[in-house]
Amino acid sequence: MSSHASHAEDHGDHHHDPPFWKKYVFTTDHKVIGIQYGIVSLLFLAVGFFLMMIMRWSIAYPDRPIPFLSSMPWFDSWLDNEARVGGDLYNMLGAMHGTIMIFLGVVPLAFGAFGNYVTPLQIGAPDMAFPRVNMASFWSFFIGGVMMLASFFMPSGAAKAGWTNYSPIATITDTHFLSLLWTGGTQWLLAMVFLITSSLLGAVNFITTIINLRCKGMSWMRMPFFVWAMLVTGFLLLLAFPPLEVAAIMQLLDRTTGTSFFIPTGLNVNGMPMDAAGGGSPLLYQHLFWFLGHPEVYVLILPAIAIVAEIIPNNTRRPLWGHHTMVYSAMVLGFFSFIVWAHHMYMTGMGAGVTTFFQTVTVLISVPSVILITSLMISLWGGSIRFNTPMLFATAFLPMFGIGGLTGLPLAFSELDLHLHDTYYVIGHFHYVVAPGSLFALFAGVYYWYPKHTGRYMNETLGHLHFWPSLICMNGIFAPMFLQGMAGFHRRAVDGGAAYEQLSHTPALQWLGLDMSMIDLNIVTSASAWIMAIAQVPFVINFFWSARMGKKVTSDNPWQATTLEWATPTPPPHGNFLTEPVACRDPYEYSVPGADTDFTPQWEPDPSGTPEPEESPVHH
């Protein structure tokens, strides 16, 4: 296989070369689309991070003018008279940080980028089932993203009602602007419609591809866990997003034409009765939102787990422990994720019956999650681990995700949640899952699959420089939030909870031997966040530098992995495989007793058996 590496360039030349815009802009090649998704979503992650850094200043130093930004001409108009971050700006940053990170950062990177690039390769398909739909999906995402960003520059600024955009507050913010269309709240809703459309198109495409384009011999259980995770994620997106689309449409109508879907009777705004018919239900919005919202968190985490599940066996040189169990767990997780959503709504006054139901299923859903993470941990057992950069991130993922998941359990119980709801504890919980959790896994994925496309490794030293500070800072940011949250700090306070100033020297901190008050933790957190920004610099340098100067790979399968994506030339040409791929064995055959090497790729014929008889796809 190694000889393919050199063939890669001239392979493209056999065919007529499509023009630049067709090859890299309006492309239908799943790999290029994957890279487009990847680059755009990494940029969005940076934007979201930047917004957060401004918020952290306001939280840590609520009564100090903000440095640097106050002299930026456009930005300064948002600051208050003392050049501080005012409430409006803070709300705007908070809402957009959440929205950008989730809908424009992590999901497109996990599902759009890695899903697109890796899935067809791993099942031995020449491309996605509907390449043009794939392109439409990317551009729809792109338009949605641009709309979100553009809304910052409108007179009203961007949306301000939190990433959950609850009614009725979201319905009435900024309605005093002349044009309702060109206000942040309205643009948020319209942009969401584009993003949802993109996800739906993507989901249809992924599921169809996985069902119908598997190569010869690729039976269901021979599919790597990554592909399974994409299948489940696809179903989550497909079936959970439409209710949010409906909610967005209804809120849009409430906002712009004056319907009352989510406006209760007798609502007063600024002390005046709102001139609307009323009779609607704010609770309905929350139901529709969280019907998506909860499955969405599994959209954030399943691809991450899946990436880790690819990297760990590769670097322990042992099979993935419990491959099938993990597959079933993912399916159960998918099923349950649709019936737990109201655990976000304990505070809304649902009765005891409903609460008990949702509490029970929420606790139940942690069982498959625990199975997944346990399988990954057991996979480490007894392996001689290669600690390269992808593996570092993948191993760090395990305890980080563990902390995030375990801190979710107390939230599942309604009595505890009544105390913890809307505090920094919740922020800590889900950030542990998505930041040092999902994001670390995604970084691992970048380091791991980078050589497949560029033919060069990313630099190990820079990788370590990226990993260790990031790991420390992540914990510096999020661990204090648990303490603050338990002390009652509200999650949306622009001054970081000045009202909690008297909570000094609490037993928890004393027990930790710290002579500080809870509110001082804000500074620890903020400082960690800013240092973490610096810690990303090595990654950025690495990303560009290695593409030209990185160490060259010597074969098409540089990590000596077993799954089919490594059977392609480097980079894979349009159409992917040079010869028809056949899956002859299970995906994680590392250190098979009696084999010559410590890895037996899926495409290596199995002398003892023949591939399962399945129809072969037509090639060329």
Q: For residue 443, give the nearest of 426, 465, 428, 425 by alpha carbon.
A: 465
Residue 421 binds to Cu ion (criterion: CB under 5 A): no
Q: Please, which residue, 488 or 617, has the CB nearer to another protein? A: 617
Q: Tell me the closest approach of the beta carbon of residue 32 to another protein, in angstroms.
A: 13
Instruction: Supply the DSSP symbol for 2.
Output: T
Q: Tell me the closest approach of the beta carbon of residue 343 to Cu ion, in angstroms.
A: 6
Structure tokens at 118: 């890796």
Q: Please, which residue, 297 or 494, has the CB nearer to ligand HEM? A: 297
**In the set 12, 87, 162, 242, which binds another protein (CB under 8 A)?**
242
- Cα separation, 603 vs 589, in Å, equals 11
Q: Tell me the closest approach of the beta carbon of residue 187 to another protein, in angstroms.
A: 11
3-class state of residue 273 by DSSP: strand
- Phi/psi-derived region of residue 291, left when phi > 0, alpha when psi is between -120 and 50, beta in every other case: alpha
Structure tokens at 364: 């139940």
Backbone angles phi, psi at 490, to 5 degrees: -75, 145
Q: Which of the stretches 43-51, 215-223, 292-300, 525-533 binds Cu ion when contact is defined by CB under 5 A?
A: 292-300
Q: Cis check for the bond before 131: say yes or no (omega within 30 of 0).
A: no
Report the partner that residue 43 touches, choosing among ligand HEM, another protein, Cu ion, none (CB closer than 5 to 8 A by kind): none
Q: Tell me the closest approach of the beta carbon of residue 252 to another protein, in angstroms.
A: 8
Q: Tell me the closest approach of the beta carbon of residue 38 to ligand HEM, in angstroms.
A: 20
Q: Which of the stretches 280-288, 441-449, 558-566, 584-592 binds another protein when contact is defined by CB under 8 A?
A: 280-288
Q: Please, which residue, 363 or 592, has the CB nearer to ligand HEM? A: 363
Report the partner that residue 434 touches, choosing among another protein, Cu ion, ligand HEM, none (CB closer than 5 to 8 A by kind): ligand HEM
Contacts of 520 (CB under 8 A, 6+ apart): none
**In the set 156, 173, 395, 570, which binds another protein (CB under 8 A)?**
156
Q: Please, which residue, 13 or 596, has the CB nearer to another protein? A: 13
- Cα separation, 548 vs 24, in Å, equals 19
Cα dist. 559→5, 451, 551 in Å? 14, 9, 13
**In the set 240, 306, 373, 446, which binds another protein (CB under 8 A)?**
240
Structure tokens at 617: 């796809």
Q: Tell me the closest approach of the beta carbon of residue 332 to ligand HEM, in angstroms.
A: 13
Q: For tokens 């401004």, what's the residue?
A: 54
Check: CB of residue 260 under 8 Å from CB of residue 278: yes
Q: Please, which residue, 151 or 375, has the CB nearer to another protein? A: 151
3-class state of residue 386 by DSSP: coil
Q: For tokens 């890695």, what's the residue?
A: 114
Q: Please, which residue, 209 or 233, has the CB nearer to ligand HEM? A: 233
Check: CB of residue 453 under 8 Å from CB of residue 447: no
Residue 147 binds to another protein (criterion: CB under 8 A): no
- Phi/psi-derived region of residue 158, left when phi > 0, alpha when psi is between -120 and 50, beta in every other case: beta
**In the set 150, 284, 363, 527, which binds another protein (CB under 8 A)?**
284
Q: What's the gap between Cα 254 and its chain centre?
A: 30
Judged by CB under 8 A, the number of residues near another protein is: 97
Residue 417 binds to another protein (criterion: CB under 8 A): no
Q: Please, which residue, 54 or 232, has the CB nearer to Cu ion? A: 232
Residues of the shown chain interacting with ligand HEM in the complex, contacts defined by CB under 6 A: 164, 297, 300-301, 343-344, 362, 366, 369, 405, 408-409, 411-412, 417, 420-421, 426, 429-430, 433-434
Structure tokens at 324: 């099938």
Report the partner that residue 574 touches, choosing among Cu ion, another protein, ligand HEM, none (CB closer than 5 to 8 A by kind): another protein
- Cα separation, 327 vs 228, in Å, equals 7
Dmax over CA atoms of the chain, in Å, equals 81
Q: Please, which residue, 29 or 310, has the CB nearer to another protein? A: 29
Report the partner that residue 350 touches, choosing among another protein, Cu ion, ligand HEM, none (CB closer than 5 to 8 A by kind): another protein
Q: According to CB under 8 A, which residues from 335 to 354 bind another protein? A: 335, 338-339, 342, 345, 349-354
Q: According to CB under 8 A, which residues from 54 to 93 bind another protein? A: 63-65, 67, 70, 76-77, 79, 81-83
**In the set 4, 84, 97, 294, which binds Cu ion (CB under 5 A)?**
294
Residue 23 binds to another protein (criterion: CB under 8 A): no
x/- letters, 317..336, toward another protein (CB under 8 A): ------------------x-
Structure tokens at 491: 């999650």
Q: For tokens 């899903």, what's the residue?
A: 115
Residue 503 binds to another protein (criterion: CB under 8 A): no
Report the partner that residue 204 touches, choosing among Cu ion, ligand HEM, another protein, none (CB closer than 5 to 8 A by kind): another protein
Judged by CB under 5 A, the number of residues near Cu ion is: 1
Instruction: Write a three-state SS string for 450-491.
Output: HHHHHCECCCHHHHHHHHHHHHHHHHHHHHHHHHHHHCCCEC
Q: Please, which residue, 463 or 573, has the CB nearer to another protein? A: 573
Burial code of 10-24, b = ≥16 C-beta within 10 A, e = fewer? Answer: ebeeeeeeeeeeeee
Cα dist. 151→93, 146, 157, 187, 204 in Å? 12, 9, 6, 6, 29
Backbone angles phi, psi at 213, to 5 degrees: -110, 15
Residue 12 binds to another protein (criterion: CB under 8 A): no
Q: Tell me the closest approach of the beta carbon of residue 595 to another protein, in angstroms.
A: 30
Q: Which of the stretches 98-106, 224-232, 293-301, 451-459 binds Cu ion when contact is defined by CB under 5 A?
A: 293-301
Q: Which of the stretches 165-173, 273-281, 287-295, 600-608 binds Cu ion when contact is defined by CB under 5 A?
A: 287-295
Q: According to CB under 8 A, which residues from 429 to 468 bind another protein? A: none
Report the partner that residue 79 touches, choosing among ligand HEM, Cu ion, another protein, none (CB closer than 5 to 8 A by kind): another protein
State which amino acid sits at residue 510: Q
Residues paired with 216 in a beta bridge = 582
Residue 431 binds to Cu ion (criterion: CB under 5 A): no
Contacts of 346 (CB under 8 A, 6+ apart): 355, 358, 414, 417, 418, 421
Q: Which of the stretches 37-45, 174-182, 298-306, 486-494 binds another protein when contact is defined by CB under 8 A?
A: 174-182
Residues that bind Cu ion (CB under 5 A): 294
